Structure 1
């Protein structure tokens, strides 16, 4: 790693994250929070507007990722109660298509498809749990998809709200290909790659490609 890339990773990238997080909170998180809060109250949904889940971050440190809740409060229990569906969820790289996912609320599929559910992660970014760009923070179950050496490589960089996997297909890309994409970023992190990912992220969000 050259000196300039080291400076970018350790200092400039964090400054960019803070600026993006502040703008994201003001322009994305706060307006969407107000709208979703009103909808959830009108619909009579119980539970918090937010969903938190423990994920692995830099150097294997765990943190609570924050999302707008797109699922019913007892989502995990519902999923695991159907063994066949739960196995399909695992085999499908820990995802289900919206039309067969019993956990989603009426507006859950919409806020996922538009990536609105990700807006609260600007708070994670501001706190320093995440970067705007990096490998997606993963669950403990997903770590089994990586070897011990690959886990070390993956968790050697801060996880991101968007990254090489997301702009390469996101929900349409499954393990083990996802491992290759995430590890590619961890091994090749640079300003040039981050700029490319940022531009592709804007395109993916506007066209809603790969999000569900």
Structure 2
């Protein structure tokens, strides 16, 4: 994140607040690092490429909560994606796009005809179907993820794994309050105007989604709250989010990747 994109006051608050937090929790961070090193092989800090404000890509820090080389297994686990569990079967969804009003007019179809899963569908409607499915399956949250270590489950539930992100804040990659930076594979699906507003606000450790989002995975709600932060961002909003974040830290619930 470009340090000059945030106001001077917000930047000063980010640096001072993050420095104090890191100083206070340093004993917890040392114990966490020791526990991670004992349980499984691999680096103590997990570094991933995340997309923040203005689609800027940066190195995002967390305590490692998974076994080594878990990233390569992510696509194999997409069938357990909690954001997709409540969606209708993809083939059933395809049936909703079979009828094209333009193709029903006299003359030739509006675009070349395709045969998908035994159904005839015009190319324009199929592309519309693919765009809709990308929007609905953008976010990934794996239920009962076998890649997570025992220490990882604890530090995720208690949010200890997030503490290294205060280093990101001091570096200027993120702010304390903002929209969560997304992995590149999620961000690449949020390119339309309506979906990309979230990238016009700073990336943050906590935000509206973290404190007001429901426990049930809902990608539409997440996008709505992310966009709302862009519209409402300011000192008052940030202060209220920080106050709401404190009690939410004591809620043990499943977490995003």
Q: TM-score range by the shorter chain?
A: 0.7 to 0.9
CA shift digits 1:40-95 (9 cap, x unpaired): 3333x211011111111121110011000000111122333x3xx32332626311
Q: How does 1:12-27 map to 2 (within 5 A)?
A: 12-27=9-24
CA shift digits 1:156-204 (9 cap, x unpaired): 2210000000001366342011000000001110111111100100010
- Corresponding position of 1:64: 59
TM-score where L is the length of structure 2: 0.70
What SS is found at the alignment partner of 2:46? strand
Q: Structure 1: give runs of 5+ residues left out of the alignment.
A: 1-8
Structure 1 outlier segments of 4+, above 6 Å: none
Is the 8 Å Cα contact of residues 78 and 102 (structure 1) preserved in structure 2? Answer: no
Cα distance change on mapping 1:170 and 1:49 into 2, 3 Å: farther
Q: Distance in 2 between matches of 1:135 and 1:119?
A: 16
Deviation at 1:210, TM superposition (A): 6.0
- Corresponding position of 2:79: 87
Is the 8 Å Cα contact of residues 169 and 209 (structure 1) preserved in structure 2? Answer: no
- Corresponding position of 2:170: 126
Is the 8 Å Cα contact of residues 50 and 181 (structure 2) preserved in structure 1? Answer: yes
Is the 8 Å Cα contact of residues 66 and 121 (structure 1) preserved in structure 2? Answer: yes
Range moving further from structure 2, 136-145 or 186-195: 136-145
Count of residues in Structure 1 that have an aligned counterpart in Structure 2: 197
Q: How does 1:28-67 map to 2 (within 5 A)?
A: 28=25, 30-43=26-39, 45-67=40-62
Deviation at 1:23, TM superposition (A): 1.0
Aligned-residue Cα RMSD (Å) equals: 2.0
Quick one: which of 176, 195, 218 aligns to 1:174?
Answer: 218
Cα distance change on mapping 1:173 and 1:13 into 2, 3 Å: farther
CA shift digits 1:112-160 (9 cap, x unpaired): 0000000000000000100000011012232355352135422122100
TM-score where L is the length of structure 1: 0.84
Q: Structure 2: give runs of 5+ residues left out of the alignment.
A: 1-5, 86-138
Structure with bigger gyration radius: 2
